[in-house]
Amino acid sequence: MHRRVFALSAAAAIIAAACGGSSGDATATSATSTAAPTTTIAPAAPATTATSPPTSSTGVATETPTTTQAPPPTSIAESAPTETATTTSTAPVPAGETSAPGDPPGAETAGSPTDPEAGDGSSADPEAPTGTVSTGDTSAPSDPPGTETNGTATDPDAGDGSSADPEAPAGTEPPAETDTPPDPETPTGPAGEAGLGDGFYPLLGNGGYNVLHYSIDLDVDPASNTIAAVTTITALAEQDLSAFNLDLSGLEVHDVTIDGVAAGFSRSGSELTVRPGLALAQGEEFSVSVDYSGTPEPIDDPGAPATALGWHWRDGVVYTLSQPSGAMTWFPSNNHPSDKATFEIRITVPTSTTAAATGLLVGESTAGGRTTTTWRMKDPMATYVTAVYIGDFDRVDHGRPNPAGPLLRDYVPDGAAPEVVEALAVTSQAIAFIEEVLGPYPFEAYGTLVLPFDLGLALENQSLPVHGRDILSPEIIAHEAAHQWLGNSVALEEWDDIWLNEGFATYLHLMFAAEHYGFDFGAEMRRLHQQLLFFAGTPPKGITVGELVGPSVYFRGAMTLHALRLHAGDETFFQILRAHYERSAGGTTNSEEFLGIVDEFAGPEAVDLVESWLYDEAVPELPERQP
């Protein structure tokens, strides 16, 4: 998770950069540091992550691949708007399948597409050996965002996902009523709810359907930070639908089609309401395509006070940080982790620029000075851990640790110091460690994308986490790796259960750090427990949205698991962890399901113990260790 952090103990400082938090953000951990952190848990002053203002655009250089040898892996291994503008369109007449504006993003136009990653773990250049690095160059940013022109001008401050109440979370603002009279041919009947009723984010996600697959075509000009895009969503109607909503913040929507037929649509804040020409029947599978363009703008969210969320553009680099609400800044979606889906993302950029995304690279083609790469995520993925990156990056391939293992590859800034690549070599060790606890790595590929500037945080984007160049310590790399199992493969049903992501990832990375640095794990956890008495008073299940990435969910969440381990003994504890992962892998879970597993393996006393750590205001005492 992208969280700000605190300075901690050998066990805890570990969490620091891993934990981006609500009240303090990641203290910088040197990429070259190998010494175990010293013991302190005073919250650090919040760090401010600033986005550079737009600068004039520059030309981009022609791609010149280099062949830098990567070190081999050591072992197997991770201000609120005052008014809301509404744009409305009705189009009951049939129309063809929507395609991307201009040159279709992702169109295979020259030769046969390569399959650089599939099957054998070879590099993006099919002729390049394992360990090669491909380079690209990035243009500088330029133009400010424009306004909507689809018949109705749009307030540039509206539709950014923030609530009219500056204290309200993104995704909680009530949709404004549209005064556009209904089309007489518009179907009547039930409409999907504008929101899923999440306790923290009631308007994130939408009711009435379940997304099966996203196909996202992005044509990106990194010099001006503009996109022309088409997102096609395949979904299953869970009720009869005369209308349904998608989450989309900003950007200009040009057309919406359902199964190739033009559909009506209207916008209110971050809600895009779609009206089919004919009502959709419960159980019907349908495809909705949204053609849109503009300059994506990040949004504020009180659940992530360390940084704005969504699409970021800084120093000519595009990257996405979306937890929890930011995905809607760059593609329309059912923006809640309870509705995961498979993805295919096609990114078209100048040939001199490198593009990467979550998933496995399965195609690449170049025509007219622009290159399209295609990324596949065949396993269900939540919208907030779906990511794209564009900039001047070198790809470092490590191959597969074993024939059944994931393809390991990293993206580092062009010309990065050797220490950056060396810091990432611990990834294979972290993967191997977590596999011993939870089972095989859940996705086809894994690696880290390192930004060319300090960020003070890292975020576990599925299969390709993003790290600031200042957050590359072994424990933070292990933390983001652990999230691939718990947080990504097993996702949350509601955001108030965030401890299931952060507490588990923190405990696993503390275990890994103890092995990596060689410190006494039990002694460190006892010190951490004493420190919790002074600063992490809110119980994990008593947090507010402003504490979504605060110390309680990380540290007290981790100590909850440690207390369970002491009470139940190692054998039973690790059976509980494995069952918790395996029973929900590829899906979602909640605290009640976890407590049910605890009861099954360790009995009602263990449930009472865990509940005291999750719900009691006072920090409980640690139980005596059982054999």
Strands 285-294 and 252-258, bridge-based pairing: antiparallel
Pick among 1.20.140.10, 1.10.3660.10, 2.60.40.1730, 3.40.50.880: CATH of 88-467: 2.60.40.1730
Distance of alpha carbon 347 from alpha carbon 327, whole angstroms:
16
What band does 183 get if pLDDT is binned at 50, 70 and 90? low
Q: Of 24 and 275, which is predicted with more confidence?
A: 275
Contacting residues for 509 by C-beta, under 8 A, at least 6 apart = 14, 15, 18, 475, 476, 478, 479, 482
What band does 402 get if pLDDT is binned at 50, 70 and 90? confident
Tell me the pLDDT tens digit for each residue of 559-568.
999 999 999 9
Contacting residues for 340 by C-beta, under 8 A, at least 6 apart = 380, 381, 382, 491, 586, 587, 588
pLDDT of 483 strictly over 90: yes
Please provide the average confidence, as pLDDT, over all residues in the chain. Answer: 79
CB 445 within 8 A of CB 406: yes
Q: What is the mean pLDDT of residues 474-481?
A: 98
DSSP 554: I
Distance of alpha carbon 440 from alpha carbon 431, whole angstroms:
9
Tokens of 28: 């910088």
What band does 130 get if pLDDT is binned at 50, 70 and 90? very low
Tell me the pLDDT tens digit for each residue of 525-560.
999 999 998 876 799 999 999 999 999 999 999 999
> Full-prediction pTM beyond 0.85?
no
Tell me the pLDDT tens digit for each residue of 329-343.
999 999 999 999 999
Tell me the pLDDT tens digit for each residue of 430-441.
999 999 999 999
Instruction: Tell me where in the chain the CATH 1.10.390.10 domain(s) lie.
Output: 486-615
Q: What is the mean pLDDT of residues 153-167?
A: 36
CB 26 within 8 A of CB 13: no
pLDDT at 188: 66
Tell me the pLDDT tens digit for each residue of 16-73.
443 443 333 332 333 333 333 332 222 233 333 333 333 332 222 223 333 333 333 3
Q: What is the mean pLDDT of residues 384-389?
A: 98
Q: Counting Cβ atoms within 10 Å, is residue 115 exposed (0-12), middle (13-18) or buried (19+)?
A: middle
pLDDT of 77 strictly over 90: no
pLDDT of 355 strictly over 60: yes
Determine the topology of domain 486-615 in CATH. Neutral Protease; domain 2 (1.10.390)
Site of tokens 């859940």: 442
41: part of which helix (H) or strand (E)? none
Asked if the bond preceding 298 is cis, omega within 30° of 0, the reply is no
Please state, for a pLDDT cut of 90, what percent of the chain lies above it: 68
Instruction: Tell me where in the chain the CATH 2.60.40.1730 domain(s) lie.
Output: 88-467
Tell me the pLDDT tens digit for each residue of 162-177.
333 433 445 545 444 3
Closest-CA residue to 370 (of 214, 228, 216): 228
pLDDT at 155: 37
Q: What is the mean pLDDT of residues 146-166?
A: 36
pLDDT at 409: 97
Tokens of 59: 């030309």
pLDDT at 49: 34
Alpha helices for 518-586 (secondary structure H): 521-535, 551, 557-568, 570-584
Q: Transcribe 447-468 into DSSP letters.
A: --EE-SS--S-EE--TTS-EE-
Closest-CA residue to 423 (of 466, 478, 472, 480): 472
Closest-CA residue to 161 (of 249, 82, 247, 85): 249
Distance of alpha carbon 552 from alpha carbon 533, whole angstroms:
11
